[in-house]
């Protein structure tokens, strides 16, 4: 990001600890892990992660902080910005920052946005938006559920926000959904703040497990009709990297599928430019393990890209 003041361009470094401090810029702390950088009528609220920034400029009432409103008397205009890649950023207008927090594994934020309603941000990356999360979760869940002749037992790897469980429960044949997420704080946060998923969190059919998905599957003796991977992308060195490996699919997931069972996983960006990031690799990995593998895609507006999923079975 760049801020222009008096004809000069001032570079901004994302994150409260990396913000540039000059005679024109002052840092004012507000809610958890967020800071405000103000200079000559501009207000910029930045998250602590490098990949996202919330920007407000020439903002009548200002926006709320712990000590009242900042930027009083200016026209309010607050923006969320996320890095798509090194040369491309995606931003949209915010109404307010609703909640922020930090868990053992990641940073959490719930924002109220003008184009997409409430959005959930984890570690500076948009996870789902109120306006179009149904696209992601319906595509993740329903093709496999409908292809199976009568899915009864479902295992969800990840899915801590509850939307995947919500969609699985729409199928009358389902009598057991195991939702396994490693981050209790995210699960508790989403249970408290994401109203559309409250019913799923409190359903007697849902067994919520706080554990690593690999360890949980290895410890289970029974099988599942559908195993759903609702995990973060497999970035090298990331917490989910090993949950997309050939060995994991072959030695952990496949033995836990009942006869005729189906694995389906989210597979990251799948656009013309972005499919090479992880989508193609996930598809090719599953082809080495399962007899039948189908990839499919849909556009998700809040992601500013086409997204991919892969379904596999024998």
Calpha distance 75→91 (Å, rounded) = 19
Let me know: does 158 contact 232? Beta carbons within 8 Å: yes
Q: Which residues contact 132 (CB under 8 A, 6 or more apart)?
A: 116, 300, 301, 302
Bridge partner residues of 5 (DSSP): 8
- The helix/strand/coil state of 39 is strand
Let me know: does 211 contact 183? Beta carbons within 8 Å: no
Bridge partner residues of 63 (DSSP): 70
- Specify whether 225 is catalytic: no
Calpha distance 193→173 (Å, rounded) = 29
Let me know: does 305 contact 271? Beta carbons within 8 Å: yes
Give the active site residue among 123, 132, 181, 230: 230
Calpha distance 83→45 (Å, rounded) = 15
Closest to 155 (Cα-Cα) out of 259, 239, 229, 231? 229
User: For the purposes of burial, counting CB atoms within 10 Å of the CB of 308, is it exposed (0-12), middle (13-18) or buried (19 or more)?
Assistant: buried
Active site residues: 230
């Amino acid at each position: 990001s760049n801020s222009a003041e008096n004809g000069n361009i001032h570079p901004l470094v994302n994150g409260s600890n990396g913000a540039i401090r000059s005679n024109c810029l002052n840092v004012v702390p507000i809610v958890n892990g967020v800071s405000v950088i103000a200079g000559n009528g501009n207000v910029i609220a930045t998250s602590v992660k490098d990949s996202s920034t919330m920007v407000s400029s020439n903002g009548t009432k200002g926006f709320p902080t712990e000590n009242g409103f900042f930027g009083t008397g200016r026209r309010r205009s607050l923006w969320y910005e996320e890095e798509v890649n090194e040369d491309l950023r995606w931003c949209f207008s915010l109404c307010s920052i609703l909640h922020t927090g930090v868990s053992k594994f990641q940073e959490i934020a719930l924002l109220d946005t003008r184009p997409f309603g409430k959005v959930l941000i984890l570690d500076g990356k948009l996870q789902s938006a109120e306006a179009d999360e149904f696209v992601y979760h319906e595509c993740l869940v329903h093709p496999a559920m409908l292809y199976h002749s009568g899915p009864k037992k479902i295992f969800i790897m990840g899915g801590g926000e509850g939307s995947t469980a919500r969609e699985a429960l729409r199928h009358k044949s389902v009598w057991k959904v195991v939702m396994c997420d490693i981050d209790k704080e995210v699960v508790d946060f989403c249970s408290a703040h994401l109203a559309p998923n409250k019913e799923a969190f409190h359903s007697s059919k849902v067994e919520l497990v706080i554990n690593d998905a690999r360890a949980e599957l290895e410890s289970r003796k029974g099988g599942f009709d559908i195993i759903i991977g609702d995990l973060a992308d497999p970035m090298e060195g990331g917490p989910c990297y090993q949950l997309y490996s050939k060995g994991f699919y072959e030695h952990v997931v496949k033995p836990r599928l009942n006869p005729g069972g189906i694995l389906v996983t989210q597979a990251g960006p799948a656009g013309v430019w972005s499919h090479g990031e992880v989508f193609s690799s996930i598809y090719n990995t599953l082809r080495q393990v399962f007899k039948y593998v189908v990839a499919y895609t849909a556009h998700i507006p809040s992601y500013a890209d086409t997204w991919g999923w892969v379904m596999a079975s024998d």
